[in-house]
Amino acid sequence: MAFLSLKIGLFLSLAAVLAPVGAVGQDQPFLIGSSVISEMKYKPGFAHFDYVNPDAPKGGDLRLSASGAFDTFNPLLAKGQAAVGLSLVYDTLMKPAEDELLVSYGLLAEGLSFPADVSSATFRLREEAKWADGQPVTPEDVIFSLDKTKELNPLTANYYRHVLKAEKTGERDVTFTFDEKNNRELPNILGQLVVVPKHWWEGQGPDGKPRDISKTTLEPVMGSGPYKIASFSPGATIRYELRDDYWGKDLNVNVGQNNFRNVTYTYFGDRDVEFEAFRAGNSDYWQETTAARWATGYDFPAVKEGRIKKEEVANPLRSTGIMQALVPNMRRDLFKDIRVRQALNYGLDFEELNRTVAFNSYKRIDSYFWNTDLASTGLPQGRELEILQGMKDKVPPEVFTTPYTNPVGGDPQKSRDNLRKAIGLLKEAGWEIKNNRMVNTKTGQPMSFEILLSSPMLERWAVPYANNLKKIGIDARVRTVDASQAVNRERSFDYDMIWNVWAQTLNPGNEQADYWGSGSVNQQGSRNYAGIANPAVDELVRMIIFAPNREEQVAAIKAMDRVLLANHYVIPLFYRDTYNIAYWNTVTHPAEFPAYGLGFPDAWWSTSAK
């Protein structure tokens, strides 16, 4: 869901006070927004975000593509495949600014307030906030949205598990009460809550039957956002149309944004076919994720003639830590032994694959917060070392003696050496090669597992990896399924190994329990794909969430990074430190991108619009 990728946080660095709206509780002021680590850039009454073009014309079309298919417009339900672009239909309580690091401002809510101990948070809704049918957005809608998202979606239930209750505390005020104090992130993650209309979902559909928010639906849903679902073909296309009557079109956080009259998504079952549609001019924008194609696949007339522009942009990754990895499922006995997992990393020759598949354009990931200042490096020192020494009996001893590094290949000798090390680790774990097969010394069972992929484009990496493992008798099979089947199997942990990407903000918090916490191991729909249940990790997650200041939080994050790496829970893969984008001259963007994003599609506009 969209709010997870936009997660923001707060260390009670004071935000700008929203002067006219009064106070709540014990004279706690309402704030126009919140900030993590710096003073907020925008003050009460600001006109618009600096990175937008306030005079951007409205009109024209934006044609985009998507992979797979969709079968529901229900934005809260963890069933089916929700249509891409639904965030255009719904507003959230707060909206992030892409030119500030971890800062958000009021959207549906004009203000946010909380006591010093952060035992609750109160949002005051804007009086002018309306649903598409003209009815006001109410505290009852917010309460309904929280209750239903916790009831129907295990992932968000875990995310909001510390929200004890929500209640109406004023005509436009809704107060969330927490089951613990000083969890400073909770007010802000509530600002990302997708708010749906209670009266619409509890009403009757066009067939005269009551709607049911616990089920998938292809009835065009109603929201409070700038767009409505105008037309669709089930699973294939969906067109969103800009609402002329959108209540928030002149709001400062929206000025210069939501510029396209129509936004249309067309679905494709194959990524290569999807690119050909872009190349043929049937879609306007493309984010390239294949290094080989970026290097050699744009030698065609539209690029040479300047009708398609190519750009490499670092901005979106400046605030994102990436862990892309092959993830063995420790719910399977095969992967419970740390030596087995470590051996599987020695079977990956990244340098050779990077050269032959990707024109040496990728970098190997060596941290769960790769490419950010939160990544651990060298040996632990200072407060980070103190934290780890306090749990010395719970973490691998290498944490204190050996900085984490991935195996290095790239030539036949190094590759052979790495496979020998893998064989040695497997021998220690009770495995041996017999008749060219890696078998368990006690049971005689061969080592065999399936690598589950959701896209054929990943096979160019996974198949050579599986073939390399076969050299030491490991039967690793690559299986690619459609996106819907992949999601369902991931939700139920029905896999041996998957390919996954975790994207971290620079303010990690409550979601870490969902990623790595013991409480999420058996919670279907969680993102603890590896099946991690480690008391040290649990303790570090709580230290991150309840850190009293930024310094303590960073120390705990780096300590957790070291513990995760030392346990070899995943086989780290690779990533780029830039976004590769291409787009037709039918669309354009402001002169400069925001510092931490692309402003896409919100701040872009059609060149045909007047």
Q: What is the CATH number of the domain that holds 542?
A: 3.10.105.10
Residue 332 and residue 212 in one domain: no
Among the listed residues 50, 176, 33, 211, the one whose alpha carbon sits nearest the alpha carbon of residue 108: 33
Judge if 322 and 208 occupy the same domain. no
Cis-peptide, bond into residue 154, ω within 30° of zero: no
Q: Is residue 6 part of a domain?
A: no
Which residue range forms the structural domain that includes residue 174? 72-221
Please tell me the predicted confidence (pLDDT) of residue 484: 85
**78-82, 108-112, 528-532, 557-561: range with lowest mean pLDDT:** 78-82
Q: Last residue of some domain: 165, 189, 221?
A: 221
**Residues 6 or more apart in contact with residue 116 via CB below 8 angstroms:** none
Q: What percentage of residues in the chain have a pLDDT greater than 90?
A: 84
Specify the range with the lowest mean pLDDT, choosing from 182-196, 264-278, 342-356, 586-600.
182-196
% of the chain exceeding 70 in pLDDT = 95
| Banded model confidence at residue 542, pLDDT cuts 50, 70, 90 | very high
Q: Are 567 and 396 in contact (CB under 8 A)?
A: yes
Judge whether 348 and 468 are in contact, CB under 8 Å.
yes
Over residues 11-30, mean pLDDT: 48
Residue 60 lies in a domain: no
**pLDDT at 424 (0 to 100):** 98
Of 183, 203, 221, the position where a domain reaches its end is: 221
Q: What is the pLDDT of residue 10?
A: 35
333's CB contacts (< 8 A; 6+ apart) are none
Does 23 score more than 90 pLDDT?
no
- Asked if the structure places residue 83 within a domain, the reply is yes
Question: Where a domain ends, among 168, 202, 221?
Answer: 221
Q: Are residues 322 and 217 in the same domain?
A: no
| Interatomic CA distance for residues 463 and 456, integer angstroms | 10
The SS3 of residue 264 is strand
pLDDT confidence of residue 21:
40
In a domain, 563, yes or no: yes
Q: What is the pLDDT of residue 200?
A: 98
Task: Indicate the pLDDT class of residue 27, thresholds 50, 70 and 90.
Answer: low
Check pLDDT > 90 for residue 398.
yes
Quick check: 155 pLDDT over 90?
no
Total structural domains within the chain: 2
Q: What is the pLDDT of residue 7?
A: 37
| Mean predicted confidence (pLDDT) in 440-447 | 97
| Six-digit token string for 204 | 């009757």
pLDDT at 276: 97
Element (H, E) at 385: helix 382-389
The answer to whether residue 565 is domain-embedded is yes
Instruction: Give the chain's mean pLDDT.
Output: 93
In sequence order, which residues have a C-beta less than 8 Å from that of residue 530 and are 6 or more positions away?
A: 327, 328, 329, 330, 516, 569, 570
pLDDT per position as a tens digit, 263-277: 999 999 889 999 999
Report yes or no on 45 lying in a domain: no
Mean pLDDT (whole number) for 47-55: 98
User: What pLDDT does 450 receive?
Assistant: 98
Same-domain status, 325 and 214: no
Average pLDDT of span 159-182: 93
Tell me how far apart the alpha carbons of residues 127 and 108 are, in angstroms, rounded to a whole number.
9
Read off the pLDDT of each residue in 48-68 and give the average, rounded to a whole number.
97
